[in-house]
Chain A
Amino acid sequence: MDNMSEHTKFECAAGPYQGPANGVVWDGEGLLISLMEAQLIMRLDPKSGNVSEFRNYKNRTNGLAIGPKGELYGAQEGSRRIIEFMLDRRAIAHTALLDGKHHNHPCDLIVDRSGGIWFTDPVSPVLAFGVQFFGPLDHASVLHLGRDPRGSWVLQRKTYDTILPRAVL
């Protein structure tokens, strides 16, 4: 806040909403916002100021990120996976195991220039949906999801000293 003048004011661009508004990401022309409790992704058109529903039934999607080709990804905490929101409205799960185990609850993510997805993977106090077949990992780390030469997703652990990683930039 040191660089803000005393006259700087925050204005409400969208909301208020019930529950946290997360996953703020600029898609090139508008702002996407994830509403975890409402299972929605909203989109703010800055020209009109209108906020409209962009996607529904998002099962606790938290962080959002845009890839180098404009792909939109989400950290879907409630299903323990990274998900890609396609232009035709399909939602494609990008799943890979970490050394044969299911990872925790992706919280935030970012995509690098090569399309690799980096995400924080803490254990959420809110259980994933449905039956709990897979316990949490014995660590909460930053993970990297990338393609191998054959195009398959491969998951790698990138931090070994994190306890409860949240945001990644």
Chain B
Amino acid sequence: MNIDRISPEFDTIVCDPVPSLETIAHGLLFGEGPVWDHRQKRFLWVEIIGDGIWEYRPGAGSKKLMDPSCHANGMTFDLEGRLVVAGWASRSVWRMEHDGTTTELATEYEGKCISGPNDIVVRSDGSIYWTDPQGALRIPGVEGNDQQRYIDIQGVYCLTPSGEINLAIADCTYPNGLSFSTDEKILYVNDTVDGEIRAFDVTRDGSLGPGRLFYKLVGDEDGVADGMKVDQKDNVYCTGPGGIHVTSSSGDLIGRLLIPGHCTNMGWGDDDCSSLYVTTFHTVVRARLNITGVPVW
């Protein structure tokens, strides 16, 4: 793997020699949704246009877990270890139960069909946050049952443990990736069109304060603001031009992981949570880093 070292802090993340990229899967049509399942020691990802959910077990290989998935996108786990999915073309947030059946969790906001959940995170109180841009309604090859957009904004929503669906952020252009800081006091949300990450203070009840610019992505290489994760030292990892931009908790770029192809998202994995699994348009690759990530539930 090539890197772009901006500051010495980056040396705490990428050791010397620079780790290689191991290919986990190739030939994909729009890889996304990377998430490590620490209970079953497996890595899951989606193929959005190829339309399915894949499973990889180290030492055992890959197999398709769900086919089709109605163009599922971001994935995470809830507090009970159930897979929670941003159903991009199904225009729903849904959950895979332990027996493999699925349950719809959210399809509407104030009586209107949501546009298409893109990425998703779960807070420690069980709240589910997701971004809802309009991409799935427009991109060729991601068709669902209804392509009509009904909600004028492209926002971030929250499904509370009591079942309420709240609009968490209204003033986005095209919200995409999102991630909590390690103490869950900040929710980072990136915007593909604006090419930036904003930080929102999280109150005790899960509502959000006004957003502030955290980091502006720049560069001419392939890649946009898409998936986003945080490590144990609160460095923020965001896809962008060239691969993955790594910023300190203050929003300063400390380096870039240069990944071939167009990066779409990433997830921490393996037993020590120090492997970064990265999805691109056509591959899944893995790199061992010198830092520990934040596991999902």
Enumerate chain A interface residues (CB-CB to B < 8 A): 55-57, 59, 78-81, 83, 89-93, 95, 102, 128-131, 133-134
Contact = CB atoms under 8 A, between A and B. Distances in A.
Nearest to A102: B140
Contact of A59 (B137, B146, B150): B137
Interface in B138-192: 138-141, 143, 145-150
Nearest to B89: A93
Interface string B1-38: 00000000000000000000000000001100000000
A93 B139 CA distance: 12
A91 B146 CA distance: 5
A92 B147 CA distance: 6
Interface of B: 29-30, 49, 134-135, 137-141, 143, 145-150, 262, 281
Given A130-B135, A133-B30, A89 B140 contact: no
Contact of B138 (A56, A95, A130, A134): A130
Given A93-B143, A102-B140, A131 B148 contact: no
B137 A133 contact: no
B138 A133 contact: no
Given A79-B138, A95-B143, 8 more contacts: A57-B148, A80-B140, A89-B150, A92-B146, A130-B138, A130-B139, A133-B29, A134-B141
Interface centre among A81, A90, A131 (most CB of B within 10 A): A131
A90 B139 contact: no
A131 B143 contact: no
18 contacts: A55-B148, A56-B149, A57-B148, A79-B147, A80-B140, A81-B140, A81-B143, A83-B147, A89-B150, A92-B147, A93-B143, A129-B140, A130-B135, A130-B140, A131-B139, A133-B29, A133-B140, A133-B141
B133 to A, nearest CB: 10
Contacts of B147: 79, 83, 91-93
A92 B281 contact: no
A89 B148 CA distance: 7
A109 to B, nearest CB: 16
A133 B142 CA distance: 11
A129 B135 contact: yes
Nearest to B144: A93
A78 B140 CA distance: 8
Contacts of A95: 143
Contacts of A78: 138
Contacts of A102: 140-141
A128 B143 CA distance: 14
A57 B146 CA distance: 13
